[in-house]
Amino acid sequence: MLDLEMKRQLEAVFGALEGTVELAYKESSHAQQAELLGMLSDVASTSSKIQAIGSGESSPMPAFRIGHNGKPTGLHFRGIPGGHEFTSLILAILNADGKGKMPDEGIAARVRALKGPIRIRTYISLTCENCPDVVQALHQMALLHPDFQHEMIDGAFAQDEVESLGIQGVPSVVVDGKMIHSGRIHFLDLLGKLEAHFGTGGATASQPRDLGKFDVVVVGGGPAGATAAIYSARKGLKTALLAERMGGQVMDTKGIENMISTLYTEGPQLAEALHKHVASYPVKILERRRVKTISRDRRVELEGGEFLSADAVIVATGAKWRELGVPGEKEYIGRGVAYCPHCDGPFYKGKAVAVVGGGNSGVEAAIDLAGIAGTVTLFEYNDALRADKVLVDKLLSLPNTKVVTHARTQELVSDGQKIVALEYVDRRTEKVERVGVDGVFIQIGLLPNSAFVKDTVELTKFGEIVVDGRGHTSVPGIYAAGDVTTAPYKQIVIAMGEGAKVALAAFEDRMRQGS
């Protein structure tokens, strides 16, 4: 199953293993059992520290669990983790042996404080690009917690379960037969949901922890934040970078073709390059952190009780996908409401779907979905689509698409189980219309990640941080750069330039003050 080049790469990756990792498979008469055994055998052949062995258990479908030095790890798989999930398998093997990138002690303490026992199932599809993030996050939590089991389930092998749970989007996280989350989610938000669901306890749950004093604290790990951290460190300043995840919104970007000198790259590759570049300098990188507040005297408080202080703070937190804010949206995420056409589009093969938003992202989503869905209706608030003409022409040329303008989405209508219609107001007549759909994909732009400084610095009515030409905010010592600011044109290359400029401005101010 694995080609020679892949095996060579895995041999290098697994060269650091010290303990024995067992891939313990269950016996099954399923037609694809041989495929699973072939994959596990191929993976095991790349290291003497990995064993593919029978567990002595049986299953109606291909399934296995991971052990370490003869002990269970809490990591389970149902299905064959190929496609995007192959990486989840490789990382699970490394993490089980304590190798690879794991959460630092501050985050690990929050995970261990969860009240057990914890038993979680995550339903995925092998074409889902967001699923591995959730699977890998829950696997790591299971390895950190003493009473935590997590099972990745390929929905293609468990259609009865998918239907009984009402799953219409992935990843879907299920506890005790109830879906607690569906769709894209990052480690911190997922941990927060588990804390709310299971509760926390112990001395580590709420103790404040001082992370230290720095010359510069950069908040945000995207292009602007990474650049600001590098430029600050190059000036010899004691620098910390706080990020929910390195790369920020870039991680959700597919093809990037406008990075000067780079013909083509993809978001995750650029994010990894940013991380490596920052890590090559003496920057304290604190990932999986979310800022709660920043005071005017530059004390930075984090969710989870940690805090730190700085002479200068650079806010570079970017922006996130904007929500409609209508009834039915949040309640039915994963059950007819989606934001990622690449991930959830396959669930709507031959069905009727709607796309809300007539900008480039909305029109691109409609074009992609037209190749899968039976019909695609795009709803736009304004009187015309705002996307580039080449995209609009492509959309209008497709036989199974329709465009509705002057449409103010009012409600995503459900039958109590899933979305069945989109209700909108025709802004020309104020008449309420209803269109039957099986799913709604929301693509209405970005919202600045600035809520945590709304009571500290000046914001525009759109939530952007007001900055001058050097990145100064309304509060001395607090700077901002990138998509979270009023700087025009939200582009990666511009964000990098803004990050460099603001870091240099902060250093120049420091020199003038004689610090």
Averaged confidence pLDDT in the chain:
94
Q: Do residues 359 and 484 both lie within one domain? A: no
Is residue 203 domain-resident? no
* pLDDT tens profile 43-79: 999 999 999 999 999 999 999 999 999 999 999 999 9
Q: Which domain holds residue 294?
A: 209-320+446-512
Does the active-site annotation cover 340?
A: yes
What is the bridge-based pairing of β-strands 306-315 and 299-302?
antiparallel
Q: Do residues 313 and 295 both lie within one domain? A: yes
CB burial of residue 349 (10 Å; 0-12, 13-18, 19+)? exposed
Alpha-carbon dihedral 95, 97, 101, 102, rounded to 10 degrees:
70
Please report the pLDDT score of residue 330 as a whole number. 84
- CB neighbours (10 Å) of residue 232? 31
Is residue 11 domain-resident? yes
* pLDDT tens profile 410-444: 999 999 889 999 999 999 999 999 999 999 999 99
Residues in the chain: 515
Catalytic residue, candidates 131, 133, 154, 340: 340
Domain final position from 442, 460, 494? 442
Q: What is the pTM of this model?
A: 0.78
* pLDDT tens profile 108-125: 999 999 999 999 999 999
Confidence check: pLDDT of 205 > 80: no
Q: In the chain, pLDDT over 90 holds for what percent of residues? A: 83
Q: Do residues 171 and 156 both lie within one domain? A: yes
Q: Do residues 166 and 305 both lie within one domain? A: no
Q: Which residues pair with 77 in a beta bridge?
A: 64, 152
Q: Do residues 123 and 224 both lie within one domain? A: no
CATH of the domain at 297: 3.50.50.60
Catalytic residue, candidates 154, 215, 344, 483: 344
Please report the pLDDT score of residue 347 as a whole number. 81
Is residue 183 domain-resident? yes
Tokens at 107, concatenated: 């985050």
Domain final position from 421, 442, 463? 442
Domain count, the chain: 3
Is residue 368 domain-resident? yes
Ramachandran category for residue 296: left, alpha or beta (phi over 0 → left; psi -120 to 50 → alpha): alpha
Q: Do residues 60 and 117 both lie within one domain? A: yes
CATH of the domain at 140: 3.40.30.80
Query: In 3D, which of 127, 88, 100 has the Cα closest to residue 16?
Result: 100
Q: Do residues 63 and 184 both lie within one domain? A: yes
Is residue 355 domain-resident? yes
Contact 318, 224 (CB under 8 A): yes
Is residue 247 domain-resident? yes
Q: Do residues 376 and 228 both lie within one domain? A: no
How far apart CA 57 and CA 59 sit, in angstroms, is 7
Does the active-site annotation cover 343?
A: yes
Confidence check: pLDDT of 203 > 80: no
Q: Do residues 119 and 267 both lie within one domain? A: no
Q: First and final CA of the chain: distance in angstroms?
A: 60
* pLDDT tens profile 387-397: 999 999 999 99
Is residue 398 domain-resident? yes
Catalytic residue, candidates 131, 215, 311, 343: 343
Domain final position from 381, 412, 442? 442
Does the active-site annotation cover 344?
A: yes
DSSP reduced 3-state for 79: coil
Q: Do residues 434 and 458 both lie within one domain? A: no
Tokens at 511, concatenated: 């020199």
Secondary structure element (H or E) that encloses residue 220, with its range: none
Q: Do residues 346 and 472 both lie within one domain? A: no
Question: Within 13 Å, how many C-alpha atoms sit on residue 304's CB side?
Answer: 27
Is residue 93 domain-resident? yes
Q: Do residues 45 and 131 both lie within one domain? A: yes
